[in-house]
């Protein structure tokens, strides 16, 4: 009989509510326990115990029973003070509810450097993401199961059409019941037995989606993430064959595609692949479209999403939900989403004012790229472009034919004085390309060819000009201040390899403007300029910046930290919450990938040189905008290098994209960055989390650098590529 009583007690304990997150932390600290001790006692990882305590995740049996027992005993030893109110609600600024972007609390706006924004640090006892909750018995209709610790959102803050959030992870339990794990811990029972039925259920009952980011824009379609068990339930392969992987889709004759055709659903041109879109043609303003994400088909690239594909359904929904609320609902890879974010913030068309009959019409949305693609200038066209089809076969275009604006890959041998120092210290620019996009004027329409133009630094375009006369041994660093530098120790700002140009070449506007800033005259031979222009990327930068800063603040790295505190906060920040660290990686990949998509190259498709490829049909295929951002990013970095050299006499050993390596006597950036009373060199490098500021990338010894270069017989080997962990495996490809 006692065994029966024990079983009943265990059953009751397994369903009894746990204390709210703040109380869990109070009880642990009251008894002097560390998270490591709790994790060891419960035989779980420290991160798991931390997640339970913060409310980010909820324990499941059998660990839940032991955790509840521990909290119950601690509560008996340390009862709560009845005079102290316990707020169990998640603050709106930190939770991830399904609310419109316009009403969700946003992080403090960042100021342009050198000053940074001030964000309130995230408290340890506040749940950054509401907890997942266990499923209950299946029903035939959607049933909400929200965490008891979370209060309802304030009236008017939730769009009733999307009250269950932007997305759901579909999983199937051992009993064969499908469940939709939504943002905020909500779980819905899914009655659908086929993919067409699943699409119907999503549009009619699931209440998934996200409000538009811009007035003339469109609401985001609901996103369903299918786990392996869900794939099996709906008749889809758990993994693609080699042939399907190369094609990027399952075959047109697959039974699921036949089911969709019979139900009059359509697929986009990319077919049923890792990011499939299933739709019916829109009727008026009503859209009928659902997007699928299939992690086991490599939808969540490990390079950008880390181990997200391996997370349990509730945790995966949480990670994607944070990204969706701060960036947008994923539309594909991080690169695709980065490009789609540009369009979502600047839709190509808008509704006109009513005509005399009171009707509105679609018209061009000012400040957007429009709905029709425009031709690039010949110098901006990548090799194989239709504009170049008349060039001789195997012709290699030189600087006078091709715009070549790329990131730095430069290094030099160390001087004797540098070899006497002990360490090589790398610093890395945060969100460098995002910072390069901020405030940048780019072309919106077609280019105009001009002969012998007068250079205008405010006019975006590509300029054929000779900058070989710019001498870095004497440059202007202020309004009227000239300084002498050792040009042999500096990369040229005009070429990615840091070599001094030998004659005329094509450059984007920011590069030519920098030559003027350094104190030299320029005389362009010709140019392709864009008179229709604007700061198209500002909103894109601001949203990605805010997403990055908010997530880093959640990880304990705030924008107002003192230099030494910032370096300490960055040390091991990923381990504090691996799931939020995934979001950080995805945000950064969204920046680089989105800019890369502006000059997307052919991807198979049977393409031949000189023929158009699919990406050319997009209005967002704009190699000139990509070139301008990269140009400005490289120039921003060179400007800081020059300011640093002029003030300290220190020169970089190597530069790779947004990483710079200096020789120093100490292991920290503070051992060579010229801070005075906590203030950085004006216009130089500043430690901080804001885009454009720098963080510590890594430190190795000078002996390591010399040994590596000697081993590979490469005195100019770019050590910035390996400075992070010192591992050098393949010099040729930089792995």
Q: Is residue 101 part of a domain?
A: no
Q: Is residue 18 part of a domain?
A: yes
What average pLDDT does this structure show over 249-262?
Answer: 96
Task: Classify 172 as helix, strand or coil.
Answer: strand
- Tokens read off for 173: 């339990």
Residues paired with 189 in a beta bridge: 179
Give the Cα separation of 535 and 533 in Å (integer): 7
Under the banding of pLDDT at 50, 70 and 90, the label for residue 33 is confident
Q: Are residues 56 and 194 in the same domain?
A: no
Q: Are residues 202 and 267 in the same domain?
A: yes
Q: Are residues 317 and 180 in the same domain?
A: yes
CA distances from 93 to 130, 218, 342, 546 (A): 13, 25, 24, 12
Judge whether residue 104 has pLDDT over 60.
no
Q: Is residue 382 part of a domain?
A: yes
Return all residues near 486 (Cβ < 8 A) that are at least 6 apart. Answer: 473, 645, 651
Under the banding of pLDDT at 50, 70 and 90, the label for residue 108 is very low
Q: Is the CB of residue 303 less than 8 Å from the CB of residue 333? A: no
- Given 327, 359, 387, the domain boundary residue is 327
- Given 327, 346, 369, the domain boundary residue is 327
Q: Is residue 309 part of a domain?
A: yes
Judge whether residue 127 has pLDDT over 80.
no
Q: Are residues 175 and 45 in the same domain?
A: no
Q: Are residues 386 and 320 in the same domain?
A: no
Q: Is residue 249 part of a domain?
A: yes
Q: Is residue 645 part of a domain?
A: no
Q: Is the CB of residue 498 less than 8 Å from the CB of residue 718? A: no
Segment 329-356, tens digit of pLDDT: 999 999 999 999 999 999 999 988 887 8
Parallel/antiparallel/unpaired status of strands 448-451 and 526-529? antiparallel
Segment 403-435, tens digit of pLDDT: 999 999 999 999 999 999 999 999 999 999 999
The number of residues in the chain equals: 735
Q: What is the pLDDT of residue 137?
A: 33
Q: Are residues 313 and 384 in the same domain?
A: no
- Given 476, 506, 534, the domain boundary residue is 534
pLDDT averaged over every residue in the chain: 87
Parallel/antiparallel/unpaired status of strands 448-451 and 178-182? unpaired
Give the Cα separation of 328 and 714 in Å (integer): 45
Q: Are residues 308 and 186 in the same domain?
A: yes
Under the banding of pLDDT at 50, 70 and 90, the label for residue 36 is confident
How many other CB atoms are found less than 10 A from the CB of residue 562? 13
Number of structural domains in the chain: 3
Q: Is residue 216 part of a domain?
A: yes
Q: What is the pLDDT of residue 467?
A: 98
Q: Is residue 256 part of a domain?
A: yes
Judge whether residue 51 has pLDDT over 90.
no
Q: DSSP assignment, residue 226?
A: E
Q: Are residues 216 and 278 in the same domain?
A: yes
Q: Where in the sequence is the domain holding 474, given as residue range(s)?
A: 378-406+438-534
Segment 599-632, tens digit of pLDDT: 999 987 789 999 999 999 999 999 999 999 999 9
Q: Are residues 266 and 394 in the same domain?
A: no
Segment 427-464, tens digit of pLDDT: 999 999 999 999 999 999 999 999 999 999 999 999 99
Q: Which residues of 16-51 are buried (b: 16+ CB within 10 A; e: fewer)?
A: eebbbbbbbbbbbeeeeeebeebbeebebeebbbbb
Q: Are residues 64 and 164 in the same domain?
A: no
Q: Are residues 274 and 388 in the same domain?
A: no
Q: Are residues 308 and 401 in the same domain?
A: no
Q: What is the pLDDT of residue 676?
A: 87
% of the chain at pLDDT higher than 70: 86
Segment 136-178, tens digit of pLDDT: 333 333 333 333 322 233 333 478 999 999 999 999 999 999 9
Residues paired with 528 in a beta bridge: 449, 462
């Amino acid at each position: 009989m006692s065994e029966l009583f024990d079983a009943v007690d265990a059953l009751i304990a397994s369903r009894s509510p746990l204390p709210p997150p703040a109380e869990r932390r109070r009880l642990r600290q009251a008894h002097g326990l560390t998270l490591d001790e709790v994790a060891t006692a419960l035989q779980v990882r420290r991160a798991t115990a931390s997640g339970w305590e913060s409310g980010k995740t909820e324990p499941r049996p059998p660990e839940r029973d032991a955790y509840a027992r521990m909290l119950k005993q601690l509560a008996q030893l340390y009862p709560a003070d009845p005079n102290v109110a316990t707020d169990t609600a998640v603050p709106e600024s930190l939770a991830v509810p399904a609310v419109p972007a316009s009403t969700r609390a946003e992080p403090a706006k960042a100021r342009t450097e050198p000053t940074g924004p001030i964000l309130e640090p995230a408290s340890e006892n506040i749940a950054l993401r509401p907890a997942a909750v266990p499923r209950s018995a299946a029903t035939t209709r959607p049933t909400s199961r929200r965490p008891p610790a979370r209060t309802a959102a304030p009236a008017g803050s939730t769009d009733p059409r999307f009250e269950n959030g932007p997305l759901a992870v579909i999983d199937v339990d051992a009993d064969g019941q499908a469940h939709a794990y939504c943002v905020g811990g909500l779980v819905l029972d899914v009655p659908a037995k086929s993919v067409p039925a699943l699409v119907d259920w999503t549009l009619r009952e699931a209440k998934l989606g996200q409000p538009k980011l811009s007035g003339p824009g469109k609401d985001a379609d609901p996103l369903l993430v299918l786990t392996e068990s869900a794939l099996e339930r709906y008749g889809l392969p758990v993994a693609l064959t080699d042939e399907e992987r190369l094609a990027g889709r399952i075959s047109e004759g697959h039974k699921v595609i036949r089911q969709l055709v019979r139900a009059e659903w359509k697929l986009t041109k990319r077919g049923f692949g890792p990011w499939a879109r299933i739709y019916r043609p829109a009727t008026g303003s009503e859209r009928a479209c659902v997007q699928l994400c299939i992690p086991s088909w490599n939808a969540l690239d490990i390079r950008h999403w880390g181990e997200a594909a391996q997370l349990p359904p509730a945790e995966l929904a949480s990670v994607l939900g944070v990204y969706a609320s701060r960036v947008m609902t994923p539309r594909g890879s991080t690169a695709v989403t980065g490009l789609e974010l540009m369009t979502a913030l600047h839709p190509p068309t808008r509704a006109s004012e009513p005509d005399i009959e009171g009707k509105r019409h679609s018209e061009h949305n000012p400040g957007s790229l429009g709905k029709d693609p425009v031709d690039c200038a010949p110098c901006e066209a990548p090799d194989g472009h239709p504009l170049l089809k008349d060039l001789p076969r195997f012709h290699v275009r030189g600087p006078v034919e091709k715009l070549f604006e790329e990131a730095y890959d430069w290094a030099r041998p160390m001087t004797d004085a540098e070899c006497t120092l002990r360490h090589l210290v790398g610093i890395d620019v945060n969100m460098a390309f995002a910072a390069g996009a901020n405030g940048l004027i780019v072309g919106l329409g077609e280019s105009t060819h001009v002969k012998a133009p007068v250079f205008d630094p405010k006019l975006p375009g590509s300029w054929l000009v000779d900058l070989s006369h710019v001498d870095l041994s004497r440059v202007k660093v202020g309004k009227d201040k000239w300084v002498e530098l050792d040009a042999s120790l500096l990369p040229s700002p005009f070429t990615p390899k840091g070599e001094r140009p030998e004659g005329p070449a094509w450059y984007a506007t920011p590069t030519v403007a920098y030559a003027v800033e350094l104190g030299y005259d320029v005389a362009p031979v010709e140019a392709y300029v864009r008179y229709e222009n604007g700061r198209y990327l500002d909103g894109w930068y601001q949203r990605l910046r805010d997403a990055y800063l908010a997530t880093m603040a959640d990880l304990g790295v705030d924008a107002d930290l003192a230099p030494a505190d910032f370096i300490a906060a960055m040390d091991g920040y990923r381990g504090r919450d691996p799931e939020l660290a995934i979001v950080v990686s995805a945000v950064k990949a969204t920046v680089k990938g989105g800019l890369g998509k502006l000059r997307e190259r052919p991807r198979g498709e049977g393409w031949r040189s000189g023929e158009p490829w699919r990406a050319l049909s997009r209005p967002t295929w704009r190699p000139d905008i990509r070139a301008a951002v990269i140009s400005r990013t490289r120039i921003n970095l060179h400007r800081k290098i020059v300011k640093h050299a002029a003030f300290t006499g220190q020169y970089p050993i190597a530069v790779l994209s947004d990483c710079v390596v200096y020789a120093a006597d100490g292991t920290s950036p503070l051992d060579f960055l010229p801070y005075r009373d906590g203030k950085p060199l004006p216009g130089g490098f500043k430690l901080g989390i804001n885009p454009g500021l720098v963080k510590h990338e890594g430190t190795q010894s000078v002996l390591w650098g010399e040994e590596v270069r000697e081993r590979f017989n490469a005195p100019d080997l770019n050590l910035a590529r390996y400075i992070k962990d010192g591992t050098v495996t393949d010099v040729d490809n930089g792995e």
